[in-house]
Every structure is written in structure tokens, then in C-alpha cells.
Amino acid sequence: MTRKLVIIGGGAAGVLVALQVVRSSRTPTTLTIIEPQQRLGEGVAYSTQDHTHLLNVPAGGMSAYANDPQHFVAWAKCAPHDFVARHRYATYLRAELADAVATSNTVRTQHVCDTAVTIGQHPLQVTTSNGTVIKGDALILALGNAPPTRPDWLHNFAATRVISDPWAPRALDAIGTTGQVLCIGTGLTFVDIALSLARRGVRVQGVSRHGLLPMAHADFGALPTLPASFDSPRAVLRWIRSQTDWRAALGALRPVTQQIWQTFSPLHQAQFLRLARRHWDIHRHRMSAEVAREFADLQATGAIVVQRGDGRQHAESGTFDAVVLCTGPDDAALFTTPPLRALADAGLIHRGPHGMGVDTDAVSGQIKDAAGNLVAGLFAVGPLRRGTLWESTAVPEIRSQAQQLATLLVA
């Protein structure tokens, strides 16, 4: 009997799951990846073809295999501390999946280049936009991050052109080589977009509530020893501040962040998200030293300006040729768009803790319904698990999830 697995989403998370399934399966398996883009492995994170858009993690941290941490370094022929162009990582994932499929005697794969529209439970199946129905014994949601949060005030904003998704193909092409652009949000997306625009002569202003930029990567020494436990986010902060190098401290916390998060009470988690989330993000999700230097140079010339303030007030000034959303993911929007809308309406899926992602089992990633029961055959991987795990967006966490899920699915 042939096992049928369906992965909805063919970005990095989807390909990492597929790769682990192909490598692990010893029985006949049909693996279908539903992804509207022609090329797998890209998604939002790695679809850019701009060679100056670099990975935000050194190459030594990007291997597809936890047991071979230098695998990507060897493939890319670079040093472990190098920051490689992002589009090369998508090429790496495609190459690894193609090699695995070519050597597998048990798994047949297919890429359905279409969009998943609805998901049904009895039987478990996916319907795509062209009406194709694909049945599976298990469905894996690898949808990546939700689209950028769109502030309510933009609905009535017609004074300038609004670019809701700066990573959409050719999204920035209409912006010329002169003029001024306002970016809402000052995280890593803003850094990439601002650099791309400033290089062509556009003056860029970034505004956010805190006006904080991501910190830069730098070398650090030995990792400090962690305490046996932390009883609150405040205790974690005190420990980080007690260390001589905060980068080393975060490096020590990285492998156990998910476990620490799950020991916190819902109240402590909410306090962290309300009071410390932005500061955690700018220290945890950093830009390369090369990118940081160029960004600082452009700031010094006035080509890029970063301010703390209200995005609406700046946008309504009327002095900008375009407004670009560089905001964080809008998790609420996931439940109003395919393929999750029908599941949400049926009560088979609901928002994860603190409104982030979807509610899942912490170990397996199996989806929980509105009553907290596990939904048979339905799993999530990657950013959809942020509410449960907090750290669930970077390759080390996703490859671990992919391996655990593949082991479960092919057992």
C-alpha cells in the first residue's frame, strides 16, 4: 500500500520536510508539493534574485541537516562565517531534494504548480484553484509567514501608492531612481528594501513605533553556561545582562529557547511579547556586518533616515511617492484566506497562543481544533508554530521540525 503525503507550501519549510521524507522513507510513498511558484525552495525568504540580499545567518548555520552542520558551507564553497546571497540557499534546497529523489527507490514526488484553496477532512484532501483534488493520508501546512500587517488606516489612504508586499515579483519596479519612499516598519525586511532603493538614488525614510534597527552580527567567544532553569522572562533578561557578551548569551539560549518558552505561564509569555519582543527581535535576528556597514554609510549621507513615530502621520504628509509595508506578519489574515478559511469556519483550526500562527501540539506539530483536540492527519511546520514554540522561523528550528515530522510520517 502506497502512503500519500501532501505538503501545502513549497518554500524552505516545505522542501525541508520533503527532503527528510524522501531520505527517511523505506516504503512506497507518493509525495505531492502544492506550490504556485515555478521553483521550489524560495517562498518569501529566498525568492529575491538581488545578489546583495544576503542571508541573515552565517553559512555555518544553514545546513539542511542537523547531523552535518557544514553541509551548506561545503556546497556553497564558502567559509562558515560568510553571509551568502539568499537566492543561493533556494538553489541549494532544490539541488538537495533533486538528489534525494534521484536516489530514492520508494518515494515518487510531484510538484503541483497551483494554489491550495480548500482543505477537507473526510476524506483528507486538498482542492486547488483549478479544481484539482489531491487526497492524502497526511497533510502538512508549510505556508511560511503570513503577508505583512496592513494598518487599518491604509484602507482610506489614496494620496500615495501603497506597496503591500515588497517581496512580490517586480513590486518595486514602479519606483524610479529619484523621489522619496516611506517604509512602515524598521526590521530586516526594511533593511533589504531600503538598501535596494537607496542604491538606485531613492531617498528612504523608515518609521516604526520604536524606531529600532536590527543589530549587526559579530564574532563572539565561548558560550556561557546556562542556569538550570528560568522562572520568568525577567530572569532570562537578568542573566543576559550579567554576561560579558550578549551575542554569546543568545547563542547559548538558542538551542533551548523553545523549551524555555513553554515553561513560561501564558501571563509571562504575554508580558514578554508586550514589553520585550521588539528588543529580543533586534538582537536575535541580526544583519550581517557587511550589510550593517553599507546601511550606516547611507544613513550618514541622509539617503536613509530611520525615525521613531506614527506611520500614519508620516504617510499623510503627502511628501512620499510610495509607501512600502515592511511590517511583521499578519497572522489574523491567515484565517480569512485560502486554504485555512474553510478549516477555521469548520472549527478544525484556530489561532495559536497569543494570536500567533495556529494551535499545534508542541512536539509533533499536529494541528489542534477549536476544542483543543488533535486533528487526524493534519500537521504544521515552520512559522505557523510560533505561538506554541516562539522560535520557529529560522532554518535550525525548521529542519529539526522537518526531521521529527518525517520520522513520524514514515514510521
Residue 159 lies in a domain: yes
| Mean pLDDT, rounded, for 2-7 | 95
Closest CA to 115 of 15, 37, 32, 6: 37
The residue with cell 556597514 is 293
349 and 309 part of one domain? no
Domain count, the chain: 3
51 and 62 part of one domain? yes
Closest CA to 166 of 177, 179, 182, 154: 182
Question: What is the value of pTM for the model shown?
Answer: 0.94
Q: What is the pLDDT of residue 157?
A: 62
Residue 346 lies in a domain: yes
158 and 294 part of one domain? yes
Can you give the residue range of the structural domain that contains 177?
152-215+286-325
Domain final residue, candidates 325, 349, 378: 325
In this model, does residue 321 exceed pLDDT 60? yes
- Percent composition of the chain: helix, strand, coil (DSSP 3-state, to 5): 40, 20, 45
Q: What is the pLDDT of residue 158?
A: 56
Sheet holding 374-380, edge to edge: 107-112, 29-34, 3-8, 138-141, 374-380, 366-368
Residue 227 lies in a domain: no
Residue 220 lies in a domain: no
119 and 18 part of one domain? yes
Report residue 124: phi and psi, to 5°.
-70, 115
Give 32's pLDDT tier (boundaries 50, 70, 90): very high
237 and 252 part of one domain? yes
343 and 388 part of one domain? yes
Residue 315 lies in a domain: yes
Domain final residue, candidates 325, 347, 376: 325
108 and 247 part of one domain? no
Give 156's pLDDT tier (boundaries 50, 70, 90): low
The residue with cell 511583521 is 328
Q: In percent, how much of the chain has pLDDT > 90?
A: 78
CB 186 within 8 A of CB 304: no
| Mean pLDDT, rounded, for 352-371 | 95
292 and 351 part of one domain? no
375 and 347 part of one domain? yes
Q: Which residues pair with 3 in a beta bridge?
A: 29
Which residues, 6 or more positions from 180, have their beta carbon under 8 angstroms from its beta carbon?
202, 203, 204, 205, 319, 320, 321
Q: What is the pLDDT of residue 272?
A: 96
Give the CATH number for residue 201: 3.50.50.60
Least confident span in 6-10, 91-95, 133-137, 308-312: 308-312
204 and 296 part of one domain? yes
324: DSSP letter: E
How are beta strands 125-128 and 116-120 bridged, if at all? antiparallel
177 and 314 part of one domain? yes
